Amino acid sequence: MTQDICPAFLQESPLKLLFLGGKGGVGKSTCAAATALRLAHAQPQHHFLLVSTDPAHSLWHILSNLTLPSNLEVRELNAAVSLSEFKSKNDVYLKEIANRGTFLDQEDVQGLMDVALPGMDELTAYLEISEWIQQDKYYRIIIDTAPTGHTLRLLEMPELIKRWLIALDSLLAKHRYLRKRFSGDGRLDHLDHFLLDLNHSLNAMHSMMTDKQRCGFVLVMLAETMSVEESVDFASALHKKHVALLAVVINQLLPENHCPTCRAERNRQGKAINNILARLPDTVFWTLPLLPIEPRGKEISSLWTQVCFLDNNTQLHIAGDYQLPLQVENPIPLPASTAQLLIFAGKGGVGKTTLACATALRLHQQHPKLRILLFSTDPAHSLSDCLKIKVERQPTLVLATIDAQEINAEADFEKVRRDYRAELESFLEDALPHFDITFDREVMEHLLDLAPPGLDEIMALTTIMEHFEQHRYDLIIVDAAPIGHLVRLLELPELIRDWLKLFFSLLLKYRKVMRLPHLSKELVQLSRELKSLRLLLRNANQTELYAVTIPTHLAVEKTYEMTYALQQLGMTTTALFINQITPQSDCPLCEAISSREAIVLEKALAILPSHQQARIFRQTEPTGLTELSALGSAIFS
């Protein structure tokens, strides 16, 4: 490793869009903030924008007590505000489009547009970034992204928006045809231009994203098994989307010394690094050290002075097989016997998947006849990597009475679309004589494309209720998506409920035009499962929520915000797991980190006093059934 070169993404270049992405909890926000500060200080003649697309924002926490340079702006995107502004700006156009030449009346159009506009965080972020690019106000935009799974959805935005625009254009097609047929007017009107402008923005953004000179990703990761697996998948997805991977930054690398803790961690990191070097051979790698002081405020400015280049043609030396002992303080009681649903929630990268798996194995040990399902709602699934078992979209056998399942929300909803179109096609073969099959068919075909974003995730989540209704499992343990997206997902049922009510009213009102019994039955089932799920989530006897965090100021603050937000949704937190605590040592680095963490642990007790708090110390990375079983036995009393 050498320190005599500077990463290209920190230098002047044609680069306009710089994304920093990766698994949750790897330091994306810290690296993004440090990058923006470095660029702004080094290039005062240029203007820069630092923006967060993560619903659980961290930038202002990291930049607290820091005076920003005048050529740097910082924004944390608020999806609700962005959607409100989009509606305010375009509502008249959208409703006029929907009102032209369809079999829907004005009241139906009003309802459809109120509940079916794009509303997901990734979509509003995509549209705002596109607008900033067209304004050309900033020399470079640095984007602190959401954790991997939802950043990958950001890359899917061109397809989603294109589908949405086609649906809107189909609503205009009939009016456009009649105007030309009977008045000879083939000119484009204000609504045509509105859609063309949106399409132009989409194409311009897509062109930017795939321009390897002007746009690229820096992938931030930790030298850990699950971070490696997720990073390799992320790099593959970027390649498929023709988006440049500029570099990989391996964060929090420990030094080589004689401290048992550092040595064991360094060896574990070395194995992970050698793994990713072999699997991404044509990639530029950099490393950043684990710092004794949590990088916030002034410490951020100097972060990149410690970066080292890592030659990917070398292999790190592994000195022996050092193991850290399993150490847990204040283990908590096992979940109540009445519990049907356990949810492990927290910031990305804190160990939710590991603790969910360990809990399943501990409960299996205690109650060998209990039928348990491990269920992942995180788009970037980790159950397979953690269990060392290939987990499928359908329940996969782990042990005699334990299954695991990693849902694919997008693929499941695409099947609903296909089934809908097939049923529609079958009905239209026998369409009524007064039905204008040329244009109204196209409108109907795209009706599901105007469903609220997030419907796919909710439909996948209601799989839980389907399992319970079929009496397949006694207990389901949920490995939840990171904080921001978990809260958003649990807020979505209200929006989805409103959309379902509207869709049912349309099916009833136009039952002579749209006889779709299969879709109606499926949506009735979804509505019933949605209602049951909402009741289950609010039932403290049947649902237990375990918050997972690590001993950093940022993680504890985010955990407090999460528990408060979930409390507003009617959910109470059962207990708190504080993971990855540094054991005391004579090592100066470990001693400094342990002292820093002690302050954070006191803070956790102060702001979350009513929660039982189990403390889990750094250990050899627990993967596979044997190590996870040992962890499960240690964290519960």
Task: Residue 349: give its domain's CATH number.
Answer: 3.40.50.300
**pLDDT per position as a tens digit, 595-605:** 999 999 999 99
Q: Could you list the residue range(s) of the whole structural domain that residue 448 is in?
A: 326-494+539-637
d(CA 174, CA 629): 63
Torsion angle in degrees (nearest 10) through CA of 56, 57, 61, 63 = 160
Q: What secondary structure letter does DSSP report for 636? A: B
Do 584 and 472 belong together in one domain?
yes
Do 143 and 271 belong together in one domain?
yes
What pLDDT sits at residue 471? Answer: 92
Torsion angle in degrees (nearest 10) through CA of 479, 482, 488, 493 = -10
Contact 293, 596 (CB under 8 A): yes
Do 277 and 356 belong together in one domain?
no
E-strand ranges in 556-611 read 573-581
What pLDDT sits at residue 337? Answer: 87
Q: How many CA atoms lie within 13 A of 398 on its CB side?
A: 32
Q: Which of 365-369, 489-493, 595-599 has the lowest mean pLDDT?
A: 489-493
- Asked whether residue 58 is assigned to any structural domain, the reply reads yes
Residue 433 pLDDT > 50, yes or no? no
Mean pLDDT for the stretch of residues 117-128: 60
Do 364 and 304 belong together in one domain?
no
Residue written as token pair 């290039």:
43
Kindly indicate the confidence band of residue 530, based on its pLDDT and cuts at 50, 70 and 90.
confident
The larger pLDDT score, comparing residue 48 to residue 416, is at 48
**pLDDT per position as a tens digit, 569-592:** 888 899 999 999 998 888 999 999
- Asked whether residue 320 is assigned to any structural domain, the reply reads no
Residue 415 pLDDT > 90, yes or no? no
Do 366 and 469 belong together in one domain?
yes
Kindly indicate the confidence band of residue 266, based on its pLDDT and cuts at 50, 70 and 90.
confident
E-strand ranges in 335-480 read 341-346, 372-376, 396-399, 402-406, 475-479
Of 278, 310, 342, the domain-final residue: 310
Query: Which tokens hold the place of 188?
Result: 């484009």
Do 356 and 295 belong together in one domain?
no
Mean pLDDT for the stretch of residues 371-391: 87
Contact 90, 63 (CB under 8 A): no
Q: What secondary structure letter does DSSP report for 449? A: G
d(CA 536, CA 533): 5
Kindly indicate the confidence band of residue 496, based on its pLDDT and cuts at 50, 70 and 90.
low
**How far apart, in Å, are the Cα atoms of 114 and each of 88, 95, 421, 451, 453?**
11, 9, 24, 11, 13
How many other C-beta atoms lie within 10 A of the C-beta of residue 228?
24
Contact 147, 380 (CB under 8 A): yes
Contact 500, 526 (CB under 8 A): yes
**Phi then psi for 123, rounded to 5 degrees?**
-70, -45
Q: How many domains are contained in the chain?
A: 2
- Asked whether residue 393 is assigned to any structural domain, the reply reads yes
- Asked whether residue 293 is assigned to any structural domain, the reply reads yes
Q: Which of 160-164, 478-482, 542-546 has the lowest mean pLDDT?
A: 160-164
Do 427 and 565 belong together in one domain?
yes
d(CA 223, CA 220): 10
Do 164 and 204 belong together in one domain?
yes
d(CA 468, CA 324): 40
The order of strands in the sheet holding 396-399 is: 328-329, 612-617, 573-581, 543-549, 341-346, 475-479, 372-376, 402-406, 396-399
Q: How many CA atoms lie within 13 A of 581 on its CB side?
A: 24
Of 263, 283, 310, the domain-final residue: 310
- Asked whether residue 333 is assigned to any structural domain, the reply reads yes
- Asked whether residue 64 is assigned to any structural domain, the reply reads yes
Q: For helices 79-99 and 157-183, give the axis angle rounded to 10 degrees.
A: 20
Q: Provide the whole-model pTM.
A: 0.74
In terms of phi and psi (left: phi > 0; alpha: psi -120 to 50; beta: otherwise), the region of 624 is left
Kindly indicate the confidence band of residue 536, based on its pLDDT and cuts at 50, 70 and 90.
confident
- Asked whether residue 36 is assigned to any structural domain, the reply reads yes
For residue 461, the Cα-to-chain-centroid distance in whole angstroms is: 15
d(CA 137, CA 450): 33
Mean pLDDT value across the chain:
81
Do 477 and 410 belong together in one domain?
yes
Task: Choose among 595, 574, 570, 573: nearest CA to 584.
Answer: 595
How many other C-beta atoms lie within 10 A of the C-beta of residue 53?
26
H-type alpha helices, 462-552: 463-469, 483-509, 517-537
Proportion of the chain above pLDDT 90, given as a percent: 35
Q: Which of 42-51, 382-391, 436-445, 518-527 has the lowest mean pLDDT?
A: 436-445
Contact 140, 32 (CB under 8 A): no
- Asked whether residue 94 is assigned to any structural domain, the reply reads no
d(CA 253, CA 276): 14
Mean pLDDT for the stretch of residues 110-137: 67
- Work out the end-to-end distance of the chain between its first and last CA atoms, rounded to an integer number of angstroms: 45
Residue 34 pLDDT > 90, yes or no? yes
Do 280 and 333 belong together in one domain?
no
Do 336 and 459 belong together in one domain?
yes
**pLDDT per position as a tens digit, 506-525:** 665 655 555 566 666 776 77
H-type alpha helices, 429-474: 437-445, 455-461, 463-469
What pLDDT sits at residue 1? Answer: 47
Residue 269 pLDDT > 70, yes or no? yes
Highest-confidence segment of 113-117, 300-304, 484-488: 300-304
Tell me the Cα Rg of the chain.
Answer: 26
Q: Pairing mode, if any, of strands 402-406 and 308-310?
A: unpaired
The order of strands in the sheet holding 48-52 is: 72-76, 48-52, 140-144, 17-21, 215-222, 245-253, 285-289, 308-310
d(CA 99, CA 121): 27
Residue 126 pLDDT > 90, yes or no? no
d(CA 39, CA 49): 10
Highest-confidence segment of 33-47, 419-433, 439-453, 472-486: 33-47
How many other C-beta atoms lie within 10 A of the C-beta of residue 215?
22
Do 399 and 457 belong together in one domain?
yes
d(CA 352, CA 480): 8
What pLDDT sits at residue 389? Answer: 92
Proportion of the chain above pLDDT 70, given as a percent: 75
Torsion angle in degrees (nearest 10) through CA of 334, 339, 341, 344 = -30
**How far apart, in Å, are the Cα atoms of 68 and each of 59, 64, 206, 309, 505?**
12, 10, 31, 28, 53
